């Protein structure tokens, strides 16, 4: 008989799975530190734009322009025509650009805190242009005291390049003419001015007055003073007796275009005598005609370096005494004494013939009116050669006046 012994078996009851334990204090602290760091970074990133100084980028149309910030130079524009100014404090700032070939320009800008740069576009305007002077030939010109050249011997034109916009002192000088000096304003653009120069007639003149109908003649000494185109002085004739002083008469007049002059004087009876004269190219001699309400005659004279005396030897060779003044071909001047605001020449009389009126307008440089008068004459008489020749001369003068500086127009 088998006896089986039973082993004792212990049965344990089924227990629930163990619960996870709470995180340790160290892990909690690490999480808190990480969250705090992120929060601080986000806060700094949000506040940083409000406290950062931005960069100003200045853009223009020229390189080498000096950039000023509130009056202090902060650099110059590069080959890309821009300049960066970093760390600009917030507030109202003034940006200015300066360049030798351009006009200064400035602009106020309001700067605020931020990361993004502030861009400013300041275009520069050119400051150098050409100044063209129209006056007499062979005139030496100075600009702000610096010799800049001499006018063309044919046209009397001088082009001065690279003149800066603004006020300048212009001086013109030629031997035998009154010097000219004036302040001119150079605009933004090429500029052309016409400046009349007047013959220098100041001083003493000695000559002879003749009356062809009676054959009488008399010496005279003329002490002449000049202010621009205005003439005044004293006319002296020999005394009636050796012990008496010379007879003197005040004279007044004007210097006209083409080296012509007109003087008026009164004699003892109050009679007005008009003297017209033509001055030579050298400015040393003159010839002309005189007239009053009843008589007419000729007169001529020569300049004296000092006051001459009656009975002295003649000055120079004798001059022919014409009955009328020789015609003078006008030169290519843009402005004449007739254009001066001092005293414009009167218009030709209405009762003059149409051709005489056209000739008078031409001599006064009123070319457009003279040309219209010639056209009216040729419309009525197409075969009028005198009007056609005068029209050709007017057109030639206008062509010279309107030709640009440096052209080959004679």
37 to each of 27, 41, 293, 343, how far by Cα in Å?
15, 6, 116, 92
Which residues is 126 bridged to in the sheet? 102
DSSP sequence for 188-200 = SS-EEEE----B-
pLDDT at 45: 56
What is the tally of helices (H) and strands (E) in the chain? Answer: 4, 22
- Count of other CB atoms within 10 angstroms of residue 389: 11
Domains 56-121 and 128-194 share a fold: yes
pLDDT at 312: 52
Element spanning 253, H or E: strand 247-255
Which residues is 127 bridged to in the sheet? none
Q: What's the CATH code, domain 128-194?
A: 2.60.40.10
The domains of the chain are located at 56-121, 128-194, 203-304, 346-402
Residue 99 to residue 76: CA distance in whole angstroms:
10
Taking 70 as the pLDDT cut, the residues of the chain under it are 1-24, 28, 39-51, 311-352, 364, 400-410
Residue 197 to residue 183: CA distance in whole angstroms:
16
Radius of gyration of the chain from its Cα atoms, rounded to whole angstroms: 46
Q: Quick one: tokens of 385?
A: 């050669």
CB 160 within 8 A of CB 130: yes
Coil, strand or helix: which one is 144? Answer: coil
Element spanning 156, H or E: none
Q: Quick one: tokens of 226?
A: 């000049």
Residue 236 to residue 245: CA distance in whole angstroms:
10
Question: Under 8 Å CB-to-CB from 108, ≥6 apart: which residues?
Answer: 92, 93, 94, 95
Q: What's the CATH code, domain 203-304?
A: 2.40.128.120
Q: Quick one: tokens of 213?
A: 């109908």
pLDDT at 353: 73
Q: What's the CATH code, domain 56-121?
A: 2.60.40.1120
Q: Quick one: tokens of 185?
A: 């304003």
Length of the chain: 410
Tell me the pTM: 0.57
pLDDT in tens, 375-404: 888 877 887 877 887 888 788 777 766 665
Question: Under 8 Å CB-to-CB from 305, ≥6 apart: which residues?
Answer: 203, 204
135 to each of 179, 268, 275, how far by Cα in Å?
12, 42, 27
CB 284 within 8 A of CB 262: no
pLDDT at 362: 75
Q: Quick one: tokens of 407?
A: 């052209």
pLDDT at 402: 65
- Rounded to 5°, the CA angle 404-405-408 comes to 80
Q: Quick one: tokens of 172?
A: 């013109």
């Amino acid at each position: 008989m088998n006896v089986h012994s039973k082993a004792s078996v212990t049965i344990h009851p089924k227990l629930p799975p163990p619960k996870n334990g709470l995180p340790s204090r160290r892990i909690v602290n690490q999480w808190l530190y990480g969250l705090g760091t992120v929060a601080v970074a986000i806060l700094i990133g949000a506040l940083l734009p409000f406290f950062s100084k931005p960069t100003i980028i200045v853009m223009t149309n020229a390189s080498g322009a000096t950039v000023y910030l509130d009056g202090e130079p902060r650099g110059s524009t590069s080959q890309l025509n821009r300049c960066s100014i970093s760390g600009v404090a917030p507030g109202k700032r003034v940006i200015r650009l300066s360049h030798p070939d351009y006009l200064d320009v400035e602009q106020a800008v309001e700067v605020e805190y931020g990361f993004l740069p502030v861009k400013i576009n300041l275009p520069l305007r050119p400051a150098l242009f050409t100044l063209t002077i129209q006056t007499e030939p062979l005139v030496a010109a100075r600009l702000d005291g610096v010799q800049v050249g001499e006018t063309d011997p044919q046209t009397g034109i001088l082009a001065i390049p690279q003149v800066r916009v603004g006020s300048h002192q212009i001086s013109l000088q030629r031997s035998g003419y009154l010097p000219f000096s004036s302040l001119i304003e150079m605009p933004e653009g090429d500029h052309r001015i016409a400046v009349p120069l007047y013959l220098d007639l100041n001083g003493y003149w000695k000559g002879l007055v003749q009356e062809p109908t009676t054959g009488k003649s008399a010496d005279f000494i003329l002490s002449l003073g000049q202010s621009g185109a205005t003439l005044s002085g004293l006319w002296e004739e020999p005394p009636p007796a050796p012990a008496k002083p010379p007879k003197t008469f005040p004279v007044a007049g004007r210097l006209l275009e083409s080296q012509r002059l007109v003087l008026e004087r009164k004699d003892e009876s109050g009679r007005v005598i008009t003297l017209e004269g033509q001055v030579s190219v050298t400015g040393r001699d003159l010839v002309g005609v005189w007239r009053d309400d009843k008589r007419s005659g000729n007169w001529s004279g020569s300049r004296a370096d000092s006051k001459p005396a009656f009975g002295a030897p003649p000055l120079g060779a004798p001059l022919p005494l014409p009955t009328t003044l020789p015609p003078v071909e006008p030169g290519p001047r843009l402005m004449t004494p007739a254009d001066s605001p001092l005293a414009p020449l009167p218009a030709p009389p209405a009762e003059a013939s149409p051709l005489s009126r056209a000739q008078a307008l031409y001599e006064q440089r009123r070319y457009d009116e003279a040309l219209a008068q010639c056209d009216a004459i040729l419309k009525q008489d197409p075969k009028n050669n005198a009007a056609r020749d005068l029209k050709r001369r007017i057109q030639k003068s206008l062509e010279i006046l309107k030709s640009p500086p440096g052209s080959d127009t004679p």
